[in-house]
Amino acid sequence: GGDGAAAGGAKIDMDLYSRQIGTLGLETMGKLVQMKVLISGLRGLGVEAAKNLILAGPAAVALHDDELVEIRDLGSNFYFTEADVGQRSRAQASSQQLSELNPYVSVSCVSGPITAEMLAGYSVAVFFGKSQAELIRCNELCRARSPQVGFIAADCFGLCGTAFVDYGDAFSVRDKDGEEPRSAIVAGVTQENPGTVHTHHERRHGFQDGDWVTFREVQGMTQLNDSPPRQIRVTGPYSFTIEDTSGYSAYLREGLVTQVKVPKPITFSSYQRALVQPRPEGGEDLPVPDLAKFGRSEQLHIAVQAVQMYREQNGTLPSVRDAAAAEACVQLAKELNDSRKRDEGALSVDEVDEDVVRKVALFAPCMICPMAAFLGGIVAQEVVKFTGKYTPLHQCLYFDMFELLPGDLSQLPNDWHPLGTRYDDQVAILGKAFQDRVANLKLFMVGAGALGCEYLKTLAMLGACCGPDGKVTVTDMDRIEISNLNRQFLFRQKDVGKPKSLTSAAAAQAMNGDLKVHAMEGRVGADTEDTFDDPFWAGLDCVINALDNVQARLYVDSRCVWFAKPLLESGTLGTKANVQVVLPHKTQSYGDSQDPPEESIPLCTLKHFPHAIEHTIEWSRDLFEQLFVESPREVNTFMEDPAGYLAKIPSEGTGTSQLAKMRCVRRMLEQSSGPFDVCVQFGVLEFQDKFHDSIAQLLHTFPLDHRTSENTLFWSGPKRPPTPISFDPKDDLHLEFVLAAANLYAANLGISANRDKAAIAQMAARVEVPAFQPKEVKFKVDEKDTTQEGCVDDDDRARQCIAEMAELGKKMASAKRMSAAEFEKDDDTNFHVAFVSAAANLRARNYKIPEADFHKVKMTAGKIIPAIATTTAMVTGLVACELLKVVTLSSRKVEDFKNAFVNLALPLWVMSEPLPPLQTKSKEYDPIIMGPVRAKPEGFTSWEKIEINKGDITLKEFVDHLTNEVGIEVMIMSAGNACLYNAYLPAHKKRLNDKVTKLWEDITKQKLSPKKTYLTIEVSASDPDDGVDVQIPTIKFQFR
């Protein structure tokens, strides 16, 4: 399963691309590896798009930009060096490092004017920073070719970004959103016009209006089965309508309905038409990325064209901060809008927003990293969509970061003049004094993976942490793996095995030698608070999370809340991403808004009644743990102390489970010296047990016609009736299971591997399989069932077995220890995923569930989070913009900041103002304590704390202080997990004379670190007057 054969025969490197294939799927990957793309224009935006695209892995990328590198380009193109300035073209200066990103992509440079011949052989051509006339010309060249070449144009005008996609007259989308096809269990179908389908109430069907579905396994109304996909109208969470069913035979029972992705045609307008009317025929209005700026996209559509018209008339874009040129653009915008108003089919606005035009015109030549990264991620994803995966941008996007400017343009900084440095474009917008503040930022970045690499590049480009007092501390405990190279763009093949933090820090410093990075390999958590101590947190300006798990995010968030530090939080999942800005006292913290927990699969579904491939994969992953991890560990535990081990057995589980455990230990000890035949025998007998005997036993207990106490059929709805499978060495899947199981078992026993399929098939054919004998067994049928599972007469056998095992323990005292497996998802040769895949598909065959390919099993069993470079780069652009706002946090309003949710597959952008912090308020009735509760102070948030700064005081002084100053009576007081005082326990009264610090040391049995100057204390309290419960903020008890 190591190499996926793509369409057209190109091999796909499954190790490198596994996380991306988890997002895009193999079919799309097969199309992508054959694409050739031209990228013209290589300032910051061009290099960002090229980097993301090359990581994704098309066949070839050609770079086109004959302009010489300027010093200001170094502020956004991270591959330019000062030695390139005035010496090399932008294409030449970028190509070397871009080509190192992915060995499978051929990167070349082309030069000269764009011609029809030059476009030959390309799937998509992307144009950045071109004039309007040039874009119209290139778009016509792309449309004239057969087949049409996909055309994308994008540009940054300072703080305004724009993108346009034209995939021709007849483009087809295979999969509009990239979501897994949904399926539901049918509960009923009416005979009427239109027919209504009712689905099982186990869960909502999740279909949308206009979806296409197919049916299978319907009994009675068999006309529904195996017919082509049909379109549905959704009428409720458990119902939808189909065609006229009045002439069909009556529905009896069962049936599954599954969503089918049906190709959807999309027609695109030319660039020239879109200038006049950006809404394509049959398309939507312009996207509104930020709901607070309704109508802004239309204003930008006019403003950008006005600036482009100025360029046509004057030969260049307006100069930076050229007020006269900006006024000329305002006039052009008004004239343009007036002429559009007279044109029936054109887009116009009621009144041109002059400020919007000025904000585009004054900074038109500038390119800053946040905008380049944001748009570069979007554009690269649009190129990938040419494969037919996801819905392309249809057709124009406008976006601005105007919050970085003062509300009133007369307040623009005066210190904007170019100094001939890499930061000139940024200084032109934000000013030199602001740039110095950026340079001296003290940041903490947690994580140096995909997000982390992008953030370090961003800091290098912004000049953040590059000043005399600036510094970024970055920590990550991980080492680089091959699958990281597909999106963690600061790493190369030669870095595999090295620490992420040190490697990414060195790579970012190569981009800007002034960057001050302190790279560490420590975990951030309660156990490292001596490393990341109070002075460390207190000295920070802002924290950036680049994490991949909720637990670490919550911990960092709790520290930021405690030390009142801004936190920039982001995450990605495939094409989806989010940004959350956490500002002390102004917004919710990350911990205030938690995602709902993942749904777990009920145990009895896993054990006896699976109805989806996810159920069989999880069952197989559990089987792997049981057979190859827990069993060998059991043997080792037994060997260390046979008598003690056997003494514990009678008190654990049922006789049936005791017996199974001991028989397994005995078998492994007796077979520990081989030969390999015993491992094959183990594989065959496991096969027999799991896919034949246990299924036959289940059917013996619940025959196919079995009815429940309510007289309904037992095997119906989600309970799918299984069929036993008999072992056949000639069946490939059967053999794969035995091959993997035998080799994993051999590894446990310390016997060398055997990968010879033919030899193993012969050994397997010789194994004698005992005939199945049904037993009287009890099963749990659902979560509420209290039945003890197991067989009746196993208790006596278990007692007998314990006696025999004691003898064996003496005899085998000197035998070698077993080696337990450790599930490793990223090595396709270790039989781990191979075993889970074979077992999951065999169990799927038992229950007639469609089988899954190797890669799907690997992603599910390995709990691999799908990830792609485009989403990561895009989201870090948004976070970089927020970081620049944090620099002047004290003078900003909370509405300047933006949380974001993005799904590039749709594509969808939703920017919104961060929510205010959750408040603790008094309640007349609290359902948990079943009575009233008061908040002191009223409406306090998690950002507030009570400080007690009276030195190393006794518990009594502490309690009295709270009574006198806060007006509460302390009931229970704790620090972390240690309960320091409980007023309800008479024995605690004598603690009142002890010092709080001594109590802490006595109860936790730890010494207070000399660095520690305070304790964090939580108190449950009541009102001294009427005994009502009172909630108060956390207490910071400063004892030295």
Catalytic residue ranges: 604
Report the run of H or E that residue 156 belongs to, with start and end.
strand 150-157
Query: What's the gap between Cα 424 and its chain centre?
Result: 35
Contact 396, 301 (CB under 8 A): yes
Query: What's the gap between Cα 696 and its chain centre?
Result: 41
d(CA 118, CA 108): 13
d(CA 392, CA 412): 37
Of the candidates 800, 820, 812, 801, the residue with the CA atom closest to the CA atom of residue 639: 812
How is the beta sheet containing 230-231 ordered, strand by strand?
A: 230-231, 212-216, 256-260, 183-189, 196-199, 239-241, 233-236
Structure tokens at 109: 């440079």
Of the candidates 260, 281, 252, the residue with the CA atom closest to the CA atom of residue 269: 281
Report helix, strand or coil for 472. strand
Please list the residues that pair with 1031 across neighbouring strands: 935
Contact 182, 401 (CB under 8 A): no
Show the CA angle centred on residue 117, arms to residues 114 and 123, nearest 5°: 85
**Going by C-beta distance under 8 Å and a sequence separation of 6 or more, which residues neighbour residue 501?**
448, 452, 474, 475, 476, 519, 520, 521
Report helix, strand or coil for 945. strand
Q: Find the length of the chain.
A: 1040
**Going by C-beta distance under 8 Å and a sequence separation of 6 or more, which residues neighbour residue 559?**
532, 537, 543, 565
Contact 772, 693 (CB under 8 A): yes
Of the candidates 104, 163, 151, the residue with the CA atom closest to the CA atom of residue 123: 151
Query: What's the gap between Cα 18 and its chain centre?
Result: 14
d(CA 921, CA 903): 36
- 414: exposed, middle or buried (Cβ count in 10 Å: 0-12, 13-18, 19+): exposed
3-state helix, strand, coil split of the chain in percent (to 5) is: 40, 20, 40
How far are the Cα atoms of 323, 405, 407 from residue 410, in angstroms, in the given order? Answer: 11, 11, 9
d(CA 271, CA 139): 6
With b for 16 or more beta-carbon neighbours within 10 A and e for fewer, the 578-594 pattern comes to: bbbbbbbebbbbbbbee
Contacts of 1026-1029 with CB under 8 Å at 24 or more apart are 1028/931, 1028/932, 1028/933, 1028/934, 1029/926, 1029/929, 1029/931, 1029/932, 1029/933, 1029/934
Contact 369, 44 (CB under 8 A): yes
Of the candidates 479, 473, 463, 466, the residue with the CA atom closest to the CA atom of residue 430: 463
d(CA 285, CA 303): 17
Structure tokens at 476: 């990550």
DSSP 493-551: GGGTTSBHHHHHHHHHHHH-TT--EEEE----SGGGTTTS-HHHHHT-SEEEE--S-HH
d(CA 418, CA 320): 9
Hey, what amino acid is at 748? N
Hey, what amino acid is at 771? A
Phi first, then psi, for residue 654 (nearest 5°) are: -90, 170
